[in-house]
Structure 1
C-alpha cells in the first residue's frame, strides 16, 4: 500500500481518488483555500458538493493549513488545481514536497512566451525555486471527472521525463476502467490536451448558431463536425510547432470530443453562437472558471507572434483567430467557412 496525497479538491482530483482508493492505497485529500466548503462537506458525509458524488469511506480530508501534515510520509503527490492556481501551487505547494516524491498533475494549459513558443505547466514549475529537483508529471486525455467517478472506461496518458517513474504512478491508479498509457513526450501530450479547451469553444459556436436559428435544443451535426474537423487540423499544426509527436493528437481530439458535449466551455460557446456579445456571455456565466478563454488567448497570441516573426502564417489557423476575435476584440460570430477549404494534389 502507498500513501497518496491529493492537493486540490477539485472535481478531477477528487474523481481520481476512486481508482487510487480502490487499489488499496491510503488517500489524503487536501483542499486549496477555495475548497474549504468542499472539505467541510466531505468530512461530514463524504459527499462532494461540486462533483455530486459520494467519495469512499476511509479517505482522509485536510484543510489547506493542514497540508504539511498530509504530505508527511506520502509516496506520491497528485496536484489538482486549475490553471488559475498554477502560481499558487508553485509558491505554496512545491516547496513543501520532498525531492524524492513524484508529483502527478491534472492541470491543463500552457503559457505563451515572447518568441511565440509555448511552455507547459510542468516546464514552468520545474523552473521555479520550489520546483527545482522535483519529478513533475502530468495527466492528459479524454476523461470527465463525473464519468471517471462512475467507472466509465477512460483512456488517458501519464507523461513525464522518466519512464520508470511513470510506470510507478501508473501502478497506483490503473484499474479495469481507468486505462493509462505512458509517454516521455511531455510537451506533446500537454499541448494536445490544453488546446482542446480553445477549440471546444469554437465547435460549440455551432450549437448556439443552430439554437439562434431554430430555437433552444436545435442540433445541426454537420456544422459541429466541420468545426470539430477544422479544430483537429489546427491542433495538429500547433502540435508540430511545439515539436510534439503527431500521435498525441488522439488525446487532444478525444478530449475535444468530451468537452464539446458538456461543461463550461460548451456553455460559453453556445451563448456566443446565440448572438450574445462576449461581455454579455461572461456576465451570464459570472463566477464560472473558464480555462478555454485563457488557452485560446495565449495560443492566438503565440501564433500572431510567430506570424510577425515570419515563422508561420496566422491564416493557417482561421478558427483559432476567429475565436480570438470574438473573445478579445468583441467581434460577432461569423464562422470563416471558406477559409477551411483546402486542396491536396497528390
Structure 2
C-alpha cells in the first residue's frame, strides 16, 4: 500500500481518489485555501459539493491547508490537483515542502508562454521554480477524461508522462483499474501541449452551439458546423504540436480531450454564451465563480503564435480559429466564424 497526498481538492484530483483507494492505497486529500468548504463537507459527510459525488468511504483522510506538512509526512507520492490559476501558489508554497525522494504527478493542464516566444509545460515550469539544489521527479496526466465520469467509473484512456519510465510505472500501478486505462510517455511536451490546446479549441467549437441555439437559447443544436470547427481545430492543433517538437501521435490525446470537453463542462458553457451573442464580459458575469482555464490557454497560445509570427516563423493566417477566439475574449470582437479561411486548394 502507498500513501498519496493530493494537494488540491478540485474535481479531477478528487475523482482520482476512486481508482487509488480501490487499489488499496491511502489518499490524503488536502484542500487549498480556496477548498475549505469542500474539505469540511467531505470530512463531515463524504460528499464533494462540486464533483457532486460521495467520495470513497475507506482509505480517505481529509486535511485543511494548515495541516499540509502533516499530510506530507511519510507520503510516498504527491498529486498536484490545482487549476491553472493555482500553479504559482503550488510552486511557491508546496514544491519546497515535498521531499526529493517523493515523486509528483500533476493533473493541471496548460502551458506557459515566455517572453522569449517559447511555450513550456507545467512540469518544466515547476522544475524551474524548485529551490536551488532541490531535485524532484515531476510528472503529469493528459488525455480525455472528465472528473464526473471518472468518479462514475466510465472507461477512460489517459497518458502519464515524465522523464523516468520506472516512476511512471509506479504511478500506473497506483491508479490503473479496469476502467482507468493508462499509457506511458516520455514525450512530456507532446502530451502536455496536445491536452492543453483542447481548452482553447473547445471554446471555439462551442461557438457553433451558441450560434445554432440563437440569442434566446431556444434554437436547435446543429452538428455540421460543430464538426467543421472540430476539424479546423485538429488541423491547427497538429500545427502547434509540430512547433513544440511534440510527437504527432499525441494528437489522439488532444482530439479525444477536445471531443469530451465539447459535450459538457465549463468551456462549452462560455463558448455557447458567446455564440448566442453575449459579450465576453456578459458571459463571464453569467458564469461568475466558475474556473475557466480555456480563457488562460487561449490567450497564452495566441500570444505565443503572434510572437512566432513577428519572427516570421509562422503565419497568423494558418491559425484563423485560434486568432478569432483570441479576438473575441481579449479584444471585444463579436462572433463571426471566418468560414472561408478554412477552405484549402490542393494541387
Report the TM-score when normalising by structure 1: 0.98
Name the SS of the counterpart of 1:50 in structure 2: coil
Q: Which runs of 5+ in 1 are unaligned?
A: none
- 1:301 correspondence with 2:303: yes
Query: CA–CA distance in 2 between the matches of 1:288 and 1:50?
Result: 11
Q: Which residue of 2 aligns with 1:5?
A: 5
Q: Which residue of 2 aligns with 1:198?
A: 200
Query: CA–CA distance in 2 between the matches of 1:307 and 1:2?
Result: 48
Q: Which residue of 2 aligns with 1:158?
A: 160
Q: Which residue of 1 aligns with 2:292?
A: 290
Alignment CA distance shift 1:217-1:77 (3 Å): farther
Could you report, residue by residue, the CA deviation over 1:230-256 in whole angstroms, capped at 9, with x for unpaired residues? 001100000000000000000000000
- 1:277 correspondence with 2:295: no
Name the SS of the counterpart of 2:225 in structure 1: helix
Q: Which residue of 2 aligns with 1:144?
A: 146
Q: Which residue of 1 aligns with 2:329?
A: 327
Q: Which residue of 2 aligns with 1:268?
A: 270
On the 8 A contact 1:91/1:130 being kept in 2, the answer is no
Q: Which residue of 2 aligns with 1:94?
A: 95
On the 8 A contact 2:216/2:276 being kept in 1, the answer is no
Q: Which residue of 2 aligns with 1:17?
A: 17
Give the C-alpha shift of residue 284 in structure 1.
1.2
Query: CA–CA distance in 2 between the matches of 1:214 and 1:330?
Result: 21
Q: Which residue of 1 aligns with 2:33?
A: 33
On the 8 A contact 1:115/1:306 being kept in 2, the answer is no
Query: CA–CA distance in 1 between the matches of 2:46 and 2:14?
Result: 11
Name the SS of the counterpart of 2:115 in structure 1: coil
Query: CA–CA distance in 2 between the matches of 1:29 and 1:79?
Result: 11
Aligned pair partner of 1:172 in 171, 174, 177: 174
Name the SS of the counterpart of 1:92 in structure 2: helix
Q: Which residue of 2 aligns with 1:49?
A: 49
Report the TM-score when normalising by structure 2: 0.98
Give the C-alpha shift of residue 218 in structure 1.
1.2
On the 8 A contact 2:217/2:276 being kept in 1, the answer is no
Give the C-alpha shift of residue 129 in structure 1.
2.9
On the 8 A contact 1:90/1:130 being kept in 2, the answer is no
Query: CA–CA distance in 1 between the matches of 2:51 and 2:241?
Result: 31
Aligned pair partner of 1:211 in 210, 213, 219: 213
Alignment CA distance shift 1:217-1:45 (3 Å): farther
Q: Which residue of 1 aligns with 2:125?
A: 124
Q: Which residue of 1 aligns with 2:187?
A: 185
Query: CA–CA distance in 2 between the matches of 1:333 and 1:12?
Result: 31
Query: CA–CA distance in 1 between the matches of 2:287 and 2:213?
Result: 18
Q: Which residue of 1 aligns with 2:110?
A: 109
Q: Which residue of 1 aligns with 2:238?
A: 236
Give the C-alpha shift of residue 187 in structure 1.
0.6
Aligned pair partner of 2:343 in 337, 341, 344: 341
Query: CA–CA distance in 2 between the matches of 1:344 and 1:46?
Result: 58
Name the SS of the counterpart of 1:139 in structure 2: strand
Give the C-alpha shift of residue 217 in structure 1.
5.2
Query: CA–CA distance in 2 between the matches of 1:147 and 1:262?
Result: 11
Give the C-alpha shift of residue 116 in structure 1.
2.1
Query: CA–CA distance in 2 between the matches of 1:28 and 1:129?
Result: 23
On the 8 A contact 2:103/2:138 being kept in 1, the answer is yes
Query: CA–CA distance in 2 between the matches of 1:184 and 1:83?
Result: 22
Could you report, residue by residue, the CA deviation over 1:152-196 in whole angstroms, capped at 9, with x for unpaired residues? 000000000111110111000000000000000001000000000
Q: Which runs of 5+ in 2 are unaligned?
A: none
